[in-house]
């Protein structure tokens, strides 16, 4: 067999609990992160930040700062290129508008960079920051995103603002993006419904709170090229963005990604890279910028604040006939990911249900707050909270079991999803996931609500979710696989392992296709000079997209191995097979070992033992998920305790059973934190008061009694070994499921996250 397409079913390593390839290096504290491997003589780079939400710099004096011993350079807007760019890590042409300079006379939020300081010691830099004297003309600010559109106060009045893609943007209206989609006559269908629900939900901005803050090191190589060593999810996009910002050729920039201490979407934005880069370009010296936790809280790329209005029309028997959604999204001071996150709020929530008609409209507005960015779930999280909560309210209004209501209306395998770009659900076990999650929590046995002997109330809630697998007709995943000179394999990837184990998963695919062991495969991370181009690790793309590139590359390498053996054995390649160790002619038993083939490839050979394969997909098959929550509420205080959370996921074939489980548990805990704990507050001047973990509460694993996860796998025909994604969907169910459980306990619907004891108690006092 020349092709190994019959190996697409799970083999020895796919669907197995394979240990991460970097596990021992990480747990033994090896130097693998950016600051571990950066040059030791780096200049320390920090920025002076604006104390005002909106102002013009009238005068900036740096002479006193420059006199401090150890200060190498102080840069202001007068010293940096004047070229608009975006920090959003997206495929060119980026949908996010080009609305930034490295530094500018206008500052647009509290924390916006005003000046860059580089010095030999942190002490000198901190002292220099205090010596810079800035005179501001303070301007009125737009702090409420409800009033931003068509406000006379413009966040971006500049004439060189530009949008590369037709996303409905207009900076003279404070509009980063706008649009509409739909099918059928929503208004007519809703007018004919027995029941119409009209609900509005508010999800605030939320921080990714990864353990490793934003950090970058830059230096010049021997040939005058800029080397960027950065903790990033998007190495190839970083190269383009840095080149744009510095107004130099991409050929002069090389990006290297070490191990990453978490990203969760935050590092899909170029938060720190341009600042040490401009210092290195100006001074020729290595430079390093490491965000403090406070900086990561006040000047980074959190989830987009969104207000989502849902009108849902249904019949008295529970048939959902129409969904009408409007999303208002707050992109903050800059437009990174603004035009793209908002689309998922509708396109990955509405499609879970059959409807006669749907309508989805949205606006994304600029305000004078910290700019938003990508965060796990990427807009779907906000939309699913709104749609699933409304479906739960419909079930309550009809006195119908919300699981039965969902069974009546949900999509199934083979169904077309008009609201999901017209794609067909070729792999879907959503109903099975719903039933399994409900069985795990004892839905039928326990009922919806139980009053305990101590007066506390226990209740349960439910929600479903879907996401996607890469960006269809856009993202590119690439893998290079090479047979070494002694018969092992080297794989070079362009995707980014953020700690989720994608390097290990690529090795699992390769091991099964090549019929070898994991130990025989080395996987090398991203270096833009060496790695094949890959869009990056976002949009739940690595397993599905880069994984298929790995499968295809390894299949082609099998063919090359057989072809070389056939030439040396004087055989017809079509008559030979490869079992991972030998190429065999089964007709006479003759064979050639992989070691001998590798040796032969180095002498008088024109058959390459190296294959690069790039893969894109015309579809983005959704993973599906259902979950149930059990809470206990104290009616005297409003205190909430999450007692049990059960979830069942259809991510297609589970590639690594250990990694999939911890991905799901971790994502659920993030969603639980978003629902019950995490809150961003601004004062009346636009200053973010949630600037540390003392104010911004992030839950640990000890804050939940039980999180239980199971899988019910479909088989996705377009995915590697039938796999789909899992990285993002797992954050999407906690908010609506817990909100439903809280209502069943208290009779209070809370439409704004987080759900706090104060909100519960206040609501209970009203009723």
The 582-585 sheet, strands edge to edge: 576-578, 582-585, 590-593
Kindly report, residue by residue over 302-336, the tens digit of the pLDDT: 999 999 999 999 999 999 999 999 999 999 999 99
> Could you give the CA distance from residue 392 to residue 398 in angstroms, rounded to a whole number?
10
Range list of H helices, 247-311: 274-283, 293-298
Q: Supply the Cα-derived Rg of the chain in whole angstroms.
A: 27
Q: What is the mean pLDDT of residues 183-187?
A: 98
Q: Tell me the pLDDT band of 1, cut-offs 50, 70 and 90.
A: very low
Q: Confidence band (pLDDT; 50, 70, 90) for 705?
A: confident
Does residue 20 carry a pLDDT above 70?
yes
What integer is the mean pLDDT of 358-379?
A: 98
H or E element, residue 674:
helix 657-676
Q: Name the band, by pLDDT with cuts 50, 70 and 90, for residue 703.
A: confident
- Pairing type for strands 253-256 and 226-230 reads parallel
Interval 337-358 mean pLDDT: 98
Can you tell me the mean pLDDT for 389-408?
Answer: 98
Q: Name beta bridge partners: 719.
A: none
> What's the pLDDT at 351?
98
Joined together, the tokens standing for residue 649 give 């996921």
Three-state DSSP string of 171-201: HHHCEEEEEEEEECCHHHHHHCCCEEEEEEE
Q: Tell me, what's the pLDDT at 624?
A: 98
Quote the pLDDT of residue 764. 85
Residue 526 in contact with residue 455, Cβ under 8 Å?
Answer: no
In SS3 terms, 576-595 reads as EEECCCEEEECCCCEEEEHH
- Tens-digit pLDDT profile for residues 106-143: 999 999 999 999 999 999 999 999 999 999 999 999 99
Compute the average pLDDT of residues 693-713: 92
What is the model's pLDDT at position 767? 63
Picking from 326, 324, 335, the residue whose alpha carbon sits closest to that of residue 306 is: 326
Query: Which tens digit of pLDDT belongs to each residue from 41-71?
Result: 999 999 999 999 999 999 999 999 999 999 9
Q: What confidence tier does 499 reach under pLDDT thresholds 50, 70, 90?
A: confident
Q: What is the mean pLDDT of the chain?
A: 96
Check pLDDT > 80 for residue 10. Answer: no
Question: What are the b/e assignments for 44-74, b being 16+ CB within 10 Å?
Answer: bbbbbbbbbbbbebeebebeebeebebbbbb
pLDDT at position 8 is 67
- pTM, to two decimals: 0.97
The answer on pLDDT for 199 being more than 90 is yes
Rounded CA separation 154/148 (Å): 8
Average pLDDT for residues 681-693, to the nearest whole number? 96
**Average pLDDT for 632-655:** 97
- The side-by-side arrangement of strands in the sheet containing 226-230 is 71-75, 113-119, 43-49, 287-290, 215-220, 226-230, 253-256
Rounded distance between C-alpha atoms, residue 735 and residue 717, angstroms:
31
pLDDT tens per residue, range 456-488:
999 999 999 999 999 999 999 999 999 999 999
Distance CA 312, CA 438 (A): 25
Tell whether the model's pLDDT for residue 702 goes beyond 90: no
DSSP one-letter string for 609-672 = SEEEEEE--S--PPPEEEEEEEEEE-TTT--EEEEEEEEEEE-BS-SBHHHHHHHHHHHHHHHH
Q: pLDDT tens digit string along 230-289?
A: 999 999 999 999 999 999 999 999 999 999 999 999 999 999 999 999 999 999 999 999
């Amino acid at each position: 067999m020349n092709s190994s397409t019959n190996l697409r079913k799970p083999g020895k390593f796919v669907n197995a609990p394979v240990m991460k390839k970097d596990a021992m290096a990480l747990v033994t504290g090896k130097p693998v992160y950016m600051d571990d491997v950066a040059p030791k003589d780096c200049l320390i780079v920090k920025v002076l930040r604006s104390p005002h939400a909106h102002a013009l710099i009238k005068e900036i004096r740096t002479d006193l700062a420059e006199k401090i011993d150890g200060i190498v350079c102080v840069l202001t807007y007068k010293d940096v290129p004047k070229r608009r760019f975006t920090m959003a890590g997206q495929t060119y042409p980026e949908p996010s508008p080009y609305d930034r300079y490295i530094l500018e006379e206008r500052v647009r939020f509290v924390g916006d960079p005003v000046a860059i300081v580089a010095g030999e010691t942190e002490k000198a830099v901190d002292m220099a920051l205090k010596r810079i004297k800035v005179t501001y003309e303070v301007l009125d600010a737009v702090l409420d995103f409800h009033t931003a559109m068509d406000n006379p106060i413009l966040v971006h009045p500049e004439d060189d603002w530009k949008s590369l893609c037709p996303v409905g943007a207009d900076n003279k209206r404070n509009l980063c993006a706008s649009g509409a989609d739909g099918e059928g006559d929503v208004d007519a269908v809703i007018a004919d419904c027995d029941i119409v629900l009209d609900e509005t939900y508010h999800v605030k901005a939320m921080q990714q709170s990864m353990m490793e803050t934003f950090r970058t090191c830059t230096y010049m190589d021997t040939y005058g090229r800029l080397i960027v060593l950065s903790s990033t999810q998007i190495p190839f996009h970083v190269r383009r963005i840095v080149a744009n910002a510095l107004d130099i050729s991409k050929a002069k920039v090389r990006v290297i990604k070490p191990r990453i201490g978490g990203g969760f979407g935050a590092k899909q934005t170029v938060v720190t890279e341009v600042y040490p880069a401009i210092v290195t370009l100006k001074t020729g010296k290595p430079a390093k910028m490491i965000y403090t936790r406070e900086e990561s809280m006040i000047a980074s790329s959190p989830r987009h604040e969104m207000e989502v209005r849902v009108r849902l029309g249904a019949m008295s028997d529970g048939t959902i006939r129409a969904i009408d959604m409007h999303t208002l999204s707050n992109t903050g001071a800059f437009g990174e990911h603004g035009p793209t996150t908002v689309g998922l709020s509708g396109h990955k929530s509405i499609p879970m249900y059959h409807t006669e008609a749907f309508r989805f409209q949205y606006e994304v507005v600029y305000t004078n707050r910290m700019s938003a960015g990508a965060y796990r779930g990427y807009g779907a999280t906000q939309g699913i909270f709104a749609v699933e909560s409304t479906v739960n309210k419909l079930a309550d209004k009809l006195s119908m079991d919300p699981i039965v209501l969902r069974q009546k209306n949900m999509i199934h395998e083979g169904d077309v999803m008009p609201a999901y770009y017209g794609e067909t659900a070729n792999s879907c076990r959503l109903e099975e996931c719903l039933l399994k999650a409900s069985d795990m929590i004892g839905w039928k046995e326990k009922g919806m609500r139980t009053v305990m002997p101590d007066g506390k109330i226990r209740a349960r809630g439910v929600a479903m979710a879907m996401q996607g697998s890469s960006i269809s007709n856009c993202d590119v995943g690439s893998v290079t696989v090479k047979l070494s000179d002694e018969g092992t394999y080297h794989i070079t990837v362009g995707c980014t392992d953020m700690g989720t184990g994608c390097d290990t998963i690529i090795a699992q695919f390769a091991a099964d296709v090549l019929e070898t062991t994991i130990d025989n495969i080395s996987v090398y991370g991203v270096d833009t000079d060496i790695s094949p181009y890959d869009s990056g690790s976002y949009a739940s793309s690595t397993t599905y997209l880069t994984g298929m590139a790995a499968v295809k590359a390894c299949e082609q390498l099998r063919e090359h191995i057989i072809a070389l053996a056939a030439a040396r054995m004087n055989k017809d390649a079509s008559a030979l097979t490869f079992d991972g160790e030998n190429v065999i002619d089964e007709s006479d038993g003759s064979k050639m070992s992989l070691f001998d083939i590798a040796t032969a490839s180095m002498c008088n050979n024109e058959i390459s033992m190296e294959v690069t394969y790039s893969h894109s997909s015309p579809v983005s098959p959704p993973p599906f998920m259902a979950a149930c929550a059990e809470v206990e509420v104290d009616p005297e205080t409003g205190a909430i305790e999450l007692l049990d959370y059960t979830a069942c996921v259809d991510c297609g074939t589970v590639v690594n059973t250990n990694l999939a489980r911890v991905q799901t548990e971790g994502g659920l805990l993030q969603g639980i934190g978003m629902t019950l704990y995490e809150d961003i507050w601004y004062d009346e001047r636009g200053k973010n008061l949630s600037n540390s973990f003392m104010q911004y509460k992030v839950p640990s694993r000890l804050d939940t009694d039980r999180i239980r996860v199971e899988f019910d796998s479909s088989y996705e025909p377009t995915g590697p070994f039938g796999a789909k994604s899992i990285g993002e969907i797992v954050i999407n169910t906690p908010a609506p499921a817990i909100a439903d459980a809280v209502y069943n306990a208290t009779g209070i619907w809370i439409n704004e996250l987080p759900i706090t004891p104060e909100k519960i108690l206040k609501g209970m006092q009203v009723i």
